[in-house]
Amino acid sequence: MSVSGERKASASASLARSVRGTTPRLADLASTPESPRTPLQRATAAAAATATATSSLYSSPSGNYRTEDEYVVLEVGSRFVRGGFAGESAPRCTLAFGPDGQKRVGDYRQYDPSYNQRRRHRKIAKEPGEDAELYERRKLQEWGEDYGLYCLDVSQVDMNLLGDKLERALRETYSKYFLLDSKPRRITLALPSRLPHALLSKTLDVLFKNFHAPSITLMSNPVLSTVAAGLRSALVVDIGWAETLVTAVCEYREVHEKRSLRAGKWLSEEMAKVLNTELDEDAASDSPKADVSFEEAEEVLTRVGWCKPIARGNRRTVYFTAQEAPVLEEWEDAVETPPPAVTIPFPKHTPPTELKVAFDTLAKPAESILFEPEVPASKFDDEELPIHHLIYRTLVALPVDVRRLCMSRIVITGGAAAMPGLKTRILKEVELLVQSRGWDPVKTWNIAAARHEERLRAQQRHLARHMQNGSGKVPESLVPATPSSPMPAGLQEPEIDNIDIKLANASLKNGPPLECAVGGSIRGVDTLGAWAGASLVTNQRVRGIVEIERERYLQHGLQGASRDKEVSVIPQRQSMMGPVVARGAGERVSWTLGVWA
């Protein structure tokens, strides 16, 4: 008999035993090539039970089976939702909010060929008797309102609509990108550190009631951005949509913050104004005024928007009068090079056109909104400071030791931070402010200096009058004292300390200083973003301070949080009676809202 015949005979014999009710032998199962299996271990039942008990008592929980809880990492912003799993370097999806995501069932307008050829934005009409300044302010508030999830003015937010938007985005994230089963997962939620309680409560309601998360850990974006940069202390500059937030983080704690309204929203509207001006100049005189939509302004800002570098030498241009203007000699055959230009198509314009814009014009929104160098700092409100002044004032308000760490670890993040040339310009502007003003928080020394000079002039006039009267000696009280140096102490050269020199020489024997010890100079550090920091922290099983359980939240809501901003997570003393008695020793007795309190 051949080999194939023997295999068929063994297979048919094993099949016959299974039909007759006889248990197949291990040798028959192992010798059947049609159904390969892993051979079973030949061990007695008692030995198997002993091995299982030993493994459960003395081995790690993941030795045989995976018992760790799976975490879902979410970042909810004002215009997007990012989602992924713990341990991944980038989110699996980034879903933006827009009017197309608010369609109802039976809305088939997107299949109309002319639907994508029209500008879809709301007309903001001026009310009768409304002031022009109030009208412009209202237009700015409503600019891009359909493309966001929420705004910080809670009185203008429809909470039910916000919950529907967030639930729809999370449903798409779970079903289309996560591909998870119905098992509830724990959630790590990255949020801004000053989110209003109404928005926070609505977000937790959606996650607890609609997605049945067992627990949610809240973490603030500035701390997570610091973690994603590989730092413990940093000055996080978050250029967001509605505001720019500068937060000083020291040892993973937020110690100081300042904010400004100069952010992506003002930047987008300024780009729309620049494009409307260019379209009106290029169009005929009898044509209607251009009205660029939010989508067009956002796309132009994202694709070709940029920031000019700081000018060499002085930041401001020096202008000469007509008589003193330098004469430039040009050769007769010299060819003037035209400035570079960019051609931008506008298919939704009436009629469709292409606009040729100078490349320098596309840098005007960033120059006028984020910096505005021609206006002195005293003219700005505290809530609308340019970015470099905002960073400088935050550094001045910090203690000396914290300032030394933060000024060398400036982390610039946010949606508008990806603009070419913006990070370099911010760092250069901050460095110029530090060099010109120092770290003295008092800015009124000029008034005292003027009073001192006036007093010296009065003494000199009195001295001259006394000499003209013919008296012999001049009183010592009338002799003007030598004026002191007007240079502040922060800008003077420090005295040489021999002890510091010896310590510096001794530290060089062990090699160059570590990067974590660098301080005292303006320096920027790149970061992977708040979501990557949350993924890293969650993957390391770091237990957050703000951890909310589902049962306690559904019972008490946000009112169940304790007043203390920190809750001890140190496990209590365990008993010697075994693991069953000490199972709940490390559980929290209460929970807190931390920085959101």
Q: How many CB atoms lie within 10 A of CB 327?
A: 4
Q: Is the pLDDT of residue 49 over 70?
A: no
Report the half-sphere exposure of 469 (CA within 13 A, side-chain side): 10
Judge whether 291 and 119 are in contact, CB under 8 Å. yes
Report which of residues 556 and 426 the model is more confident about.
426
Q: How far is CA 257 from the centre of its chain?
A: 14
Counting runs of H as helices and runs of E as strands, what totals does the chain give? 17, 12
DSSP, residue by residue, 165-224: HHHHHHHHIIIIII---SS--EEEEEE-TT--HHHHHHHHHIIIIIS--SEEEEEEHHHH
Instruction: Tell me the domains of the chain and their CATH numbers.
Output: 71-110+130-230+528-560 (3.30.420.40), 263-310+339-379 (3.90.640)
pTM (two decimals): 0.72
Mean pLDDT value of segment 286-298? 86
Mean pLDDT value of segment 505-534? 80
pLDDT tens for 125-156 read 667 777 777 767 777 777 888 888 988 888 87
DSSP 229: T
| Strand pairing category for 93-96 and 253-260 | unpaired
Q: Locate tokens 């000018």: which residue? A: 311
pLDDT at residue 192, rounded to an integer: 92
Report which of residues 88 and 21 the model is more confident about.
88
pLDDT at residue 385, rounded to an integer: 92
Report which of residues 449 and 152 the model is more confident about.
152
Identify the weakest region by mean pLDDT among 291-300, 467-476, 544-553: 467-476
pLDDT at residue 328, rounded to an integer: 45
Identify the weakest region by mean pLDDT among 159-163, 206-210, 318-322, 533-537: 318-322
Judge whether 258 and 289 are in contact, CB under 8 Å. no
pLDDT at residue 298, rounded to an integer: 92
pLDDT at residue 321, rounded to an integer: 44
pLDDT at residue 63, rounded to an integer: 40
